[in-house]
Amino acid sequence: MPLRQTRHGGLVPTPTQRSAHAPATELADGWLQIVDPRDRDPKRDLHPDSPLELVLLDMDGTLTKGSCWEDLHHAFGVSNQTNWERYQHGELDDVEFMRSDIALWRVGKGQDIHLDELLPVLDAIPYLDGAREVVAGLRERGIATCILSGGIDMYVANGLRLTDTHHLQGDGILYVEVRDKASVARQVLHRLGVPKQRTASVGNSAYDVPMFQETGFGVAFNPSDNWVRKHARHVVEAPDMRPVLAHLLASGHMT
pLDDT tens for 98-144 read 899 989 998 888 788 888 998 898 888 889 999 999 999 998 888 88
- pTM as predicted: 0.76
Query: Are 247 and 234 within 8 A, CB to CB?
Result: yes
pLDDT tens for 171-205 read 887 777 777 889 889 988 888 888 999 999 999 99
Which CATH superfamily is 3-251 part of? Answer: HAD superfamily/HAD-like (3.40.50.1000)
pLDDT tens for 58-96 read 988 899 888 888 899 999 999 999 998 998 888 988 889
